[in-house]
Copies of this chain bind each other. A is one copy, B any other.
């Protein structure tokens, strides 16, 4: 091992240098280096038919993906809003680049390690939508800001603003900050006096620069029925909009008032002062979003095309009305609605077993042999993408490109 000079190995050792003697570092075996042992699953080559991919394989239809990105950008611009797509959905630098190329103001990240991974890929306009509460993460966030000057950090707690200011000072920077104002009870500071006081504090602290406000309404995105969704989304955010108005009156910077998502993208322009939408799932459209219903009254939300699928292989066809595939909970998660088998509306797909999917059916369009492939839609895109090292970009059934899921597993 002492003869290896790989930069990756050095980085790995540096990361654990504090107590290298106690860290279990895999010994090189049969010519593999540590970095290769830790490396992700090797992808298959481009140019082949998607039906020749080894499975389970995560695929995105490139035509649909590109159409979704273009359509969202057009729609938001028509409503005089910007887009700040949330990368927690795809965790993929290549897709973030497509979004930026289409005109996004920047991207969002949910966790610090996700932001770090995307920044390491050269993405520079990243807004971290969650506060960091440990000393270690606060310091890392400010180091990230130092390397990536357009990085923006969310804050929702006064002591945290002080800690962030101290870390920014230590890093020798003035860090851009947005106040995360709550919609609901999950995260964020409540709208009104508390939020206004936090905004003033951030504005006052010398090593922080107030850029505005985040207000993500996670609960509204999946409300079924457009009219109800619209009414609830606008009601939920009314106090936040009033707080932003109050900030404006007090001369505080509100150049960013960001929130919303795929379920409310066509509603957010009705919020006074709103600037940009943190759309995520629209690139893929999963079973959950398809079920929320569209503005046209259609029970299927069809503003964007379903582009994300998982390919599986049949490993048991011996019993009538049953099939087993190699794509279970480790390929799909357990979100509902369950995966849909494309072209087989009569099939029920249960991914409840870790390694296997179980299909039951009364009618199928054809008979299936051992080794045959099936293609499934995805229940909920974010956690499914997080299971894979690569996504295969498909055009007309051929693998055109293989994209690493840059921030796969980066949930810290």
Chain A residues close to B by CB (< 8 Å): 4-8, 11-12, 15-19, 22-24, 26-27, 29-30, 32-33, 35-47, 52, 54-57, 88, 93-94, 110-111, 113, 117, 120-122, 130-131, 133-134, 136-137, 147, 156-157, 159-160, 182, 185-190, 218, 313-316, 318-319, 322, 324, 326-327, 329-331, 333-335, 353-356, 358, 370-371, 380, 382-383, 386-389, 393, 400-404, 406, 408-412
Q: Which residues of B lie under 8 Å from residue A331 when comparing CB positions? A: 411
Can you list 28 A-B contacts (CB < 8 A)?
A6-B35, A16-B46, A18-B45, A22-B47, A23-B43, A24-B94, A24-B401, A24-B403, A26-B121, A29-B122, A37-B120, A37-B121, A37-B406, A38-B39, A41-B410, A41-B412, A52-B136, A55-B412, A110-B354, A110-B355, A156-B316, A186-B324, A186-B353, A218-B353, A334-B334, A355-B411, A387-B411, A408-B409
In the bound assembly, the distance between CA atoms of A268 and B386 in angstroms comes to: 37
Min CB distance A212 to B, Å, is 21
Q: Which residues of B lie under 8 Å from residue A42 when comparing CB positions? A: 11-12, 15
In the bound assembly, the distance between CA atoms of A57 and B160 in angstroms comes to: 21
Q: Which residues of B lie under 8 Å from residue A402 when comparing CB positions? A: 16, 23-24
**Number of copies of this chain in the oligomer?**
2
Given known A-B contacts A32-B120, A355-B130, A40 and B409 have beta carbons under 8 A apart: yes
Min CB distance A149 to B, Å, is 12
In the bound assembly, the distance between CA atoms of A253 and B338 in angstroms comes to: 42
Q: Which residues of B lie under 8 Å from residue A371 when comparing CB positions? A: 133-134
Contact A19 B47 (CB under 8 A): yes
Given known A-B contacts A7-B6, A55-B412, A30 and B147 have beta carbons under 8 A apart: yes
Main secondary structure of the interface of A (DSSP, over half): loop
Contact B160 A54 (CB under 8 A): no
Q: Report, nearest first, the 4 A-B pairs whose CB atoms are least far apart.
A: A18-B45, A133-B371, A29-B122, A15-B42
